[in-house]
């Protein structure tokens, strides 16, 4: 049975940019700016627009999230 790839490490490389190392050996850098969207006061993800907060991002312990 095939299993979904797992995130081994995730490194913040810039504002809204994350380099993800996968269990398959692949490495991808992705820009999350469009996903995060513009800052809005009512947005529960508004804190992600703070560079110091975003820089704390990391892979979760299970390998399936950031």
Provide the residue-wise pLDDT of the chain in tens; the chain has 66 residues: 689 999 999 999 999 999 999 999 999 999 999 988 888 888 888 889 999 999 999 999 999 999
pTM here is 0.83
pLDDT at 40: 85
Beta strands (DSSP E) in 1-66 are 7-14, 17-22, 27-31
- The domain limits of the chain are 7-55
pLDDT at 1: 60
Question: How far apart are alpha carbons 54 and 61 in whole angstroms?
Answer: 18
């Amino acid at each position: 049975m095939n299993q979904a790839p797992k995130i081994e490490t995730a490194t913040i490389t810039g504002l809204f940019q994350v380099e993800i190392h996968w269990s398959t050996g692949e490495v991808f850098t992705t820009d999350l700016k469009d996903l995060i969207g513009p800052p809005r006061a009512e947005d529960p993800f508004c804190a992600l627009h703070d560079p110091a907060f975003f820089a704390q991002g990391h892979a979760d312990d299970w390998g399936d999230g950031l």
